[in-house]
Amino acid sequence: MAAPTIVTDLTTVDTAESAIGWLNQANMNPTTDTDAFVEGTSSVGLAFAAANTRYSMIADLGGSTNITGTHIFVWVKVNFAICASFAEGGVRVVVTNDNTGNTTNYGEWAVGGRDIQWCQEGWRLIVVDTSRPFDFVGAGTPPSNMTSIRRIGVSALSSALQMTGNSLNVDVLRYGTKIAITGGTTGDPITLKELVDSDLDPASGVYGIVTKNKAGVFEINGELRIGAESGSTNTVFSSRNELITFADQPAALNYLKIKSQQGTGTTDVKFGTGVGSGDAKVGVNGSVIDRINVVHGREYSLDFSSSINLVEFFGTTVLRAKDGLTFPNATGHEAISSSFVACGQVDLGQALARKNTFSSHGFIDTGSVSIAVTAAAVDTGSITIDVTASTRTFTRTAGGSGSFLTDGFEVGMVVTFSGFTNANNNGRKRITSVTATTIVVEKGLVMVNETGTADERVRTEFAYTRSSGSFVTDGFIKDMSITPSGFSNSGNNRTRIITNVKATQIFTRELTGITAESAGTRTIRSAGATGDGALLWNESINIKSSSFVGISNSVVTAAAIQHPSAASSPYTYDALTFSGNDYDVNNTSTAIDTGSVTITVAASAGTLTRSSGSFSSDGFTAGMTITSSGFTNPGNNFETKTIDTITGGGTIITVTDNSSLVDETGGGDERVQRNITIQNVNDADPSTFKGQPVAFVTASNLLVRVKDTSSNPVEFAQTAIFLNDGTPLMNEDTDSNGEASESTTKSGGAYIRVRKSLTGFTKYIPFSTTGTISGDFTLDVTLQEDTNA
Amino acid sequence: MIEKDFKIDFKNKKISLKPKGGGQDYSVRELYSFLMDLLDEPENMKYDVPIESTGKDDFALINGWTIDEKALKHLKGGTLKSAA
C-alpha cells in the first residue's frame, strides 16, 4: 500500500496546538481544546457566551503578508444548532490588517451557517478564495486588498449561548495554492483511500485536499494535483469503484479540479480497468465523479491536458464536469466504456476512445437579451407586519390588505426585513414557508415578538429581470449555478446559485456585489466554461463506436460534436450514433465563403469560374471540400465536392468530381462555401448541424482479407483498389490479420490488386480482379506462393 | 545490380537497357524477381504486372509489355516469351 507523498506550497499560519497567539475581536477569548481536533493534539476553540453575538478567533501571520492569489485552508467545527443561518452570516472566514483584536477593521467571507450541510457534520476543511469580495465588513477599515494581511481566522454569529464546551473550533490554518500527491507504482498505485488514511492521521499533515464523508464518498476540496510538477518522481494514481465528489467550497472559479502534472519522471492517472484488446476492449471497475455546489456554485474540471505518461478512463462516469474534461493531445491514452453526462466540453485529444456515451451536455443560455438588475423586485413596501419569535413568523396584520403570495414571495428566497424595532428581526433571512399573510424564515438569530407599526417591509434585495422572454422557458431552475455577463458592474457578472426563478426574474442565494443596473443587452448562462459541443473534435482524434444522446437544451442550441477546424475535411464518423440532440455537429471553423457572386459552371471540365474576385483571395485552396448554392440547376448546388485545382488567377475552381454538374451561366447569386464533410461508416448517423456548412455522406466500407493456401493471414501484402478511372480507394499493407480496410464515398467499376514479393519474405503470385463498388465491399483473396520469384 | 542496368518504363510498358547499363548478364528469373519486387510498391500498384511465370525458368511478358533487343541480349538462362 503506497501512501502518497504530499507536495505543496501551502504556508502554515498556525497549527492551533495552543491558543497562545490567537486573538479574539471582543466577546470571548479562544482557548486550547484538547478534546476536539483534527491535526496534532488540540485545536483552538471558544464558547458562545450569548445569543446574537459575533465571535472570532484570529491567528498571526507574523507580519504583514501578501496572500493575493491564494486560498485559505482552515479546519472548522461549529455547533450548528446555536449558530446563525448562512444568510445571516453564521460562519465566516475573517482577515484583518491589524495585529490586534480590533473589533471593526476586518473583512469576512460567508462560509457556513446552521442551514449549511457541512456545519451539521463536524470538522470540515474550508477553502476560501482570497480574491472573493467580502460578504461582511467591520465598521472600521477592512482590508482593501490582500497585500498586507496580518491575521486570518474564523468568526461566527451565535443564536444562543453554550454553557459548557466550545461552540466554535479552529484547527490548522494555512494559505497557498497547490497541493499535489506523488508516488506509487503500476503494481502499487496511490489511491484516494491511501491519501485520506495517511493525510488525515492527526500526526500527519492533515491537508484535507481529499476527505471522506459519512457515506464513504471521497470529497475533493480544491485543486488536487496528481504527479510531480518538477523533478524525477514517478507517480501512478488509480481510482476504481469509488464515488468522488467535489465539495461545495467558496473557492475561485475553475479551482475545483483534478489536475495532472509531470516533471522529468512519469505520471499515470488511471480510472477503472480495461479488459480485452483492440476495438473489443471494454472498461470496468470505473469510478463515478460528480459535484455538489448548491451554495457557492463552483463547477469542476478534470484537467489532464498536460503532457503526461498515461491517462486511462475505463468504465468511468463523469457527471456535471461543467468546466470540462481534457486529455493530453497525444496518442497512448484511452477512454473506453465511459460516460460523460451533463459535462462541459470533453476534449479526448488523440486518445483511443471506444464505446463511450456523451449525454445531456448543453448549457442553459438566455442568448443576448435585455436584462436588468432590479432592486426590490419583490417588495411589500411599508406595511404593518407582526413578529412571532417562537415560530419565526412574520404576519401581515389581520384585516390588512395585500398578500405575500401576490407580491411574489416564494419559499427559498433570501429576503431582507426592515423597519422592525428589534434589530434581529431585521436583515437577510431565507423563507421556509409563505402564505398570503405569513412568511416563516429558517432558524437563525434569536427573534423577538413585535407588533407592527406600519413601517415594516420585506423585499428581495436584487433580481435579474427581463421584460421579454422567459428564464423558465430557457431552462433555468432552482439550485442552478449561473454566470451572468455583459453587466457594467462586475459584481453583477459573478457566478451565483439560483434560489428562485420566474419567467422574468432570477433570484440568487449569494448577494454580495450585486448592484442595481438598468436594462441592457446581456447574457445569463449556466455556469462552467464550456464550448458549444459535448465533444471537441481533435484533428487527430481516434474515436469509434460511441453515442451522443440527449444533448439538448430548451432553447435548442446544444450540439454533440464541435469541429473548430475544417483542415482535415473529410472526416470519418465510425459507428458514432446520434439521438435526441439539438445539433449533431457544430462547425465552428473559420468561414471561407464567396458570398453571392457570379459563377459559371462548365460541366465537362468540372470548373466553377467566377466573374469577379478570387477564390484564392477568399481563402479557398486545393483539397478543400466545398458546398455550392444559388445555381439554377440543382446539380450545381452540391453538398460537397473537393477542390482539385484553383487556376485562372484564382478565378477558376476545378473539382475532382464533375458528376452532377451541368453547364450554367452565372446569374449573380451563386455562392461557394468551405464545408466540413462527414463520411458516415458502420451505421454512423449524424444528420443535423449548425454553424458553417456540414455535408453528411454515407461511406462504403472496403475490406480485403488476404490469406495463403493454408488459410493463414498474409501480412504486409500491398492491397489496392482503384476505380476504373484510376481514382485510388485503397492502397495499403494488410495488417497482422491479413486485412486491409478503408472507407469511401465513391462508387463505380474498380480493379483490385494484391501483391507481395518483398525480398526476405514469402513471395506470392500477384492477384488481380475486378468488381463494382456500390456499397460495402468485401473481398477474400487467397495468394499462391511464387516459388520462381 | 539489375536495377542499374535495366530501365522500366511504366508509361510505355517497355523494358530496356540503360545507356550505361549492360555490364552484366542476368537470368530471366532474376529479371522476374526484380519486377515482382518493384511492382508491389504502393506507387506501382496502379500498373499492370509485366511478366508472369509459366514454368520453372520459363516466363512471359504480358499486358502489352515489351523488351528491347539490347536488354534481351543481357538475359541468359531461362526463356522469356511474349504473351502475344
In angstroms, the separation between the Cα of residue B52 and the nearest Cα of chain A is: 8
pLDDT at A484: 97
* A contacts of B41 (beta carbons < 8 Å): 718
User: What is A751-768 written as a DSSP string?
Assistant: EEEEE---TTS--B--EE
Q: Over pLDDT 70: what percentage of chain A?
A: 99
Provide ipTM, 2 decimals.
0.94
pLDDT at A556: 84
Q: Give the lowest-confidence range in A391-395, A428-432, B7-11.
A: B7-11
B39 touches chain A (CB under 8 A): yes
Q: What is the mean pLDDT of residues A165-170?
A: 96
Q: Nearest Cβ partner of B53 from A718, A722, A786?
A: A786
Note whether A757 contacts B40, CB cutoff 8 Å.
yes
* B contacts of A765 (beta carbons < 8 Å): 52-53
Are A448 and A367 spatial neighbours (Cβ–Cβ below 8 Å)?
no
For the entire predicted model, the pTM comes to 0.85
Q: Which of B1, B10, B45 to mutate to test the interface with A (most CBs of A within 10 A)?
A: B45
* B contacts of A789 (beta carbons < 8 Å): 32-33, 36-37, 53
**Sign of the dihedral defined by the CA atoms of residues B49, B54, B55, B61, in that order:** negative
User: In chain A, which residue's Cα lies nearest the Cα of B32?
Assistant: A789
* A contacts of B45 (beta carbons < 8 Å): 718, 720, 722, 731, 753, 755
B42 touches chain A (CB under 8 A): yes
| Chain centroid to CA A381 | 41
User: In chain B, which residue's Cα lies nearest the Cα of A764?
Assistant: B36
Q: Nearest Cβ partner of B39 from A728, A731, A755?
A: A755
Note whether A720 contacts B39, CB cutoff 8 Å.
no
Label residues A706-739 b or e (16+ Cβ within 10 Å = b): bbbeeeeebebbbbbbbbeeeeebbbbebeeebb
pLDDT at A757: 93
Q: What is the mean pLDDT of residues A422-449?
A: 96
Q: What is the mean pLDDT of residues A180-197?
A: 97
For residue A6, give the amino acid letter: I
First to last CA, chain B: 29
Does the pLDDT at position B84 exceed 70? no
Characterize the bridge pairing of strands A559-563 and A583-587.
parallel
Under the banding of pLDDT at 50, 70 and 90, the label for residue B22 is low
pLDDT tens per residue across span A355-369:
999 999 878 889 899
Does the pLDDT at position A80 exceed 70? yes
* Cα dihedral A75→A78→A80→A85 (10° resolution): -70
* A contacts of B37 (beta carbons < 8 Å): 757-759, 789
Neighbours of A144 (CB within 10 A): 9
Does the pLDDT at position A400 exceed 80? no
Tell me what the pLDDT averaged over chain A comes to.
95
* B contacts of A759 (beta carbons < 8 Å): 37
User: In chain A, which residue's Cα lies nearest the Cα of B42?
Assistant: A731
Under the banding of pLDDT at 50, 70 and 90, the label for residue A774 is confident
Q: Nearest Cβ partner of B56 from A728, A731, A788?
A: A788
* A contacts of B33 (beta carbons < 8 Å): 757, 763, 788-789
pLDDT at A398: 64
B32 touches chain A (CB under 8 A): yes
Note whether A758 contacts B37, CB cutoff 8 Å.
yes
Structure-model confidence comparison of residues A767 and B25, the more confident one: A767
User: In chain A, which residue's Cα lies nearest the Cα of B34?
Assistant: A789
Note whether A789 contacts B32, CB cutoff 8 Å.
yes
* Residue A84 to residue A82: CA distance in whole angstroms: 7
* B contacts of A757 (beta carbons < 8 Å): 33, 36-37, 39-40
* B contacts of A755 (beta carbons < 8 Å): 36, 39-40, 45, 49
Q: Left (φ > 0), alpha (ψ -120 to 50) or beta: where does B35 sit?
A: alpha
pLDDT tens per residue across span A677-727:
999 988 999 999 999 999 999 888 899 999 999 999 999 999 999 999 888
Q: Nearest Cβ partner of B36 from A726, A731, A757?
A: A757
Are A487 and A374 spatial neighbours (Cβ–Cβ below 8 Å)?
no
* Residue A101 to residue A362: CA distance in whole angstroms: 50
Under the banding of pLDDT at 50, 70 and 90, the label for residue A747 is confident
Q: Give the lowest-confidence range in A44-53, A75-84, A391-400, A456-465.
A: A391-400
**Sign of the dihedral defined by the CA atoms of residues A558, A560, A564, A565, in that order:** negative
Q: Which of A714, A734, A757, A767 to mutate to test the interface with B (most CBs of B within 10 A)?
A: A757
In angstroms, the separation between the Cα of residue B61 and the nearest Cα of chain A is: 14
Q: Nearest Cβ partner of B53 from A718, A728, A788?
A: A788
The grid coordinates listed for A770 are 475486378
* B contacts of A725 (beta carbons < 8 Å): none
Under the banding of pLDDT at 50, 70 and 90, the label for residue A530 is confident
Are A328 and A305 spatial neighbours (Cβ–Cβ below 8 Å)?
yes
Chains A–B, number of C-beta pairs less than 8 Å apart: 52
Label residues A407-420 b or e (16+ Cβ within 10 Å = b): bbbbebbbbbbebb
Does the pLDDT at position A399 exceed 60? no
pLDDT at A4: 96
User: What is A113-182 written as a DSSP string?
Assistant: -TTSGGGGSS-EEEEEETTSPPSEE-SS---SSSTTEEEEEEEEEBSS--SSS-SEEEEEEEEES-EEEE
Q: Give the lowest-confidence range in A24-28, A370-374, A602-606.
A: A24-28
Q: What is the mean pLDDT of residues A634-656?
A: 96
Note whether B33 contacts A726, CB cutoff 8 Å.
no
pLDDT at B83: 54
Q: Which of A221, A222, A230, A321 is nearest to A267 (CA)?
A: A230
| Cα→Cα distances A675→A583, A585, A592, A646, Å | 16, 12, 8, 17
Is residue A71 helix, strand or coil?
strand
Chain A residues at the B interface, defined by Cβ less than 8 Å, are: 718, 720, 722, 726, 728, 731-732, 753, 755-759, 763, 765-766, 768, 786, 788-789
Residue A571, beta-bridge partner list: A678
Note whether B36 contacts A726, CB cutoff 8 Å.
no
* A contacts of B29 (beta carbons < 8 Å): 788
* B contacts of A728 (beta carbons < 8 Å): 46
Q: Nearest Cβ partner of A786 from B36, B45, B57?
A: B36
Note whether B36 contacts A731, CB cutoff 8 Å.
no
Note whether B39 contacts A728, CB cutoff 8 Å.
no
Residue A471 has φ and ψ, to the nearest 5°, of: -65, -35
pLDDT at A766: 96
Q: What is the mean pLDDT of residues A423-434?
A: 97
Note whether B53 contacts A722, CB cutoff 8 Å.
no
The grid coordinates listed for A142 are 477592512
